[in-house]
Amino acid sequence: MNLKIAVLAGDGIGPEITEQAIKVINAVCQKNNHIPQYTYALTGATAIDQVGDPYPEETHRVCMEADAVLFGAIGDPRFDNNPKAKTRPEKGLLAMRQKLGLFANIRPVSTFKSLLHKSPLKQELVEGADFVAIRELTGGIYFGRPQGRSEDGNTAYDSCVYHRFEIERIAKLAFEFALKRRRKLTLVDKANVLATSRLWRETVQEMAPQYPDVEMEYMFVDNAAMQIIQGPKRFDVIVTENMFGDILTDEASVITGSLGLLPSASIGLHTSVFEPIHGSYPQAAGKNIANPVATILSAALMFEYAFNLPAEAEMIRKAVDASLEEGVVTEDVNKENPSSTSEVGDWLTDFIQNKF
């Protein structure tokens, strides 16, 4: 099977972590007689520097022609709080989501047995935690219009806008995920205050009778933020709007003990994108210390969702579990005896080549 993969390494640690994921993808493909075909394209600050656009048209063409996109990270401190910057790297991410129609971001949150002691939460709270957060990705306040500032600069405004069809398509996906898991779905909103949240709740309540086997729960976002920390095991599938999902999934990431361990998939109308949930971590760029596991697990999601190859995805997950058990981890997980970024990639590649 030929696998056409667009590689958007991006900024900061992006090139290093995607390089390790490609090693692992190659090992899995070699074992299973697949042929990966990579096309590299510019994005983020790197693209601004070279062509003046964080998501160039050529990059979009490469993504549209691929079966899947392996994405590294976007962001550069040169553009942070810089009023002279004509554009920002992060605008490339928003443009990619919009142009590819990536309306759903899927973030699995689960603990690793060998790393339970690394979580800032008590072990009895997090052991066995396993839920999926499904975040609407192309609507809401990040894309709402009008948006701007007054002429005197003393007033700023953003608009949160949602249409019923946007809510229906993400809710349908969430119900389907729940049916494949433990059959419980939690809608997170702020329906006691926000008109958009009331539309979310009304729409999901209308859809719920179509899924009688799914237990439906409704929760305000402030309560959800507390419950994710107090009792993460109560959740199975969470669905929510763009900004709430952005905040809650970053909060949920601490359950595992490191941001460097959590993958994500963004799916929608065109080519799906697979990326780690963390940022570009510019302080670590080029030092060979960043954790590549989230990107490698994102490659596992790619095999599962983009190529419908669940056995290949499971090979990667088993290799990652083995590396954590063996203590082959980067400094964010073990400061006393860390492995480098490339050493983790090499270990996982070797494990796949020799243990399956």
Question: Would residue 250 show up in a list of annotated catalytic residues for this protein?
Answer: yes
Question: Minimum mean pLDDT among 12-16, 51-55, 333-337: which range?
Answer: 333-337
From residue 343, give the alpha-carbon distance in Å to each of 33, 74, 232, 275, 334.
25, 24, 32, 20, 14
Q: Which one of the listed residues 23, 76, 118, 190 is annotated catalytic?
A: 190
Question: Would residue 246 show up in a list of annotated catalytic residues for this protein?
Answer: yes
Q: Which one of the listed residues 91, 246, 305, 318 is annotated catalytic?
A: 246
> Which residue is listed with tokens 């702020």?
190
Q: Are 157 and 147 in contact (CB under 8 A)?
A: yes
pLDDT of the residue at 84: 72
Reading the block at residue 287, the tokens are: 């030092």
Alpha-carbon distance 332 to 326, whole Å? Answer: 16
What pTM, to 2 d.p., does this model score? 0.90
Q: Which one of the listed residues 40, 142, 218, 305 is annotated catalytic?
A: 142
End-to-end CA distance of the chain: 19
Question: Would residue 11 show up in a list of annotated catalytic residues for this protein?
Answer: no
Return the closest-CA partner of residue 9 out of 50, 46, 64, 63.
46
Alpha-carbon distance 56 to 40, whole Å? Answer: 13
Q: Which one of the listed residues 233, 250, 305, 318 is annotated catalytic?
A: 250
- Which residues does 249 contact at the CB level (< 8 Å), separation at least 6? 105, 107, 109, 133, 135, 264, 277
Question: Would residue 142 show up in a list of annotated catalytic residues for this protein?
Answer: yes
> What confidence category does residue 12 fall into, taking pLDDT thresholds of 50, 70 and 90?
very high
Q: Are 339 and 310 in contact (CB under 8 A)?
A: no
What's the average model confidence in pLDDT over 178-202?
A: 98
- Which residues does 268 contact at the CB level (< 8 Å), separation at least 6? 100, 101, 102, 103, 104, 137, 138
Helices (H) and strands (E) in the chain, counts: 12, 12
> What confidence category does residue 250 fall into, taking pLDDT thresholds of 50, 70 and 90?
confident
Domains in the chain, CATH or no CATH each: 1-102+261-356 (3.40.718.10), 120-256 (3.40.718.10)
> Which residue is listed with tokens 């590299």?
40
pLDDT per position as a tens digit, 60-107:
999 999 999 999 999 999 988 777 778 899 999 989 999 999 999 999
Question: Minimum mean pLDDT among 113-127, 207-221, 334-348: which range?
Answer: 113-127
Q: Mean pLDDT, the chain, as a whole number?
A: 95
pLDDT of the residue at 187: 98
Return the closest-CA partner of residue 132 out of 182, 72, 69.
182
pLDDT per position as a tens digit, 288-308:
999 999 999 999 999 999 999
Residue 103: other Cβ atoms inside 10 A: 21
- Which residues does 226 contact at the CB level (< 8 Å), separation at least 6? none
